[in-house]
Structure 1
Amino acid sequence: MHVSIRCFASLSRFTPPDAEAFPVAPGESVGQVAARLGIPPAELKLVFINGEHVEPGAQLKDGDRVGLFPAVGGG
């Protein structure tokens, strides 16, 4: 199984070289993938699968598009 991964803003440094076809195991969650990428849990604020907001425990399916976002500051 493969998914597409986009890491945004300060998380972009965790983008894997194979982001367009990142291998995942059946039943693997977004949180598990984030951990494999080395993203500290405290830095991960928003998770999207196929454009829908999900919790880090959401399981991935082949072909999913994953978006990972940090907390965003502004003024």
Structure 2
Amino acid sequence: MQIEIKCFATLSDFTPEGNMMTVEDGATIQQVIDALGIKTEDVKIMFINGKHQSLSSVLSEGDRLGLFPAVGGG
């Protein structure tokens, strides 16, 4: 199935070309992060279709996944 992925800030280099990725049915956010080569500890916030999710959340055809690192400020 096809999903859309957008990686933000320091993770932006991991965004797949065209923002699209093919994953197996029932794939979780954790599996996508692993496939992209991102360290799990580098991802702090995850959204599917604009709703906050966990690493074990299952993706569906056409979902939009957003991955964010920890955000610092000062």
- Give the SS at the match of 2:34: helix
- Give the SS at the match of 2:13: helix
User: Runs of 5+ in structure 2 lacking a partner?
Assistant: none
| Structure 1 residue ranges (4+ consecutive) displaced by more than 6 angstroms after TM superposition | none
* Matched AA of 1:59: V
Number of equivalenced pairs: 74
Q: When the two structures are superposed, what TM-score results if normalisation uses the length of structure 2?
A: 0.96
Q: When the two structures are superposed, what TM-score results if normalisation uses the length of structure 1?
A: 0.94
CA RMSD of aligned residues (A): 0.8
* Overall identity of the aligned pairs, in %: 49
Counterpart of 2:59 in structure 1 is 60
1:32-51 paired onto structure 2 within 5 Å: 32-51=31-50
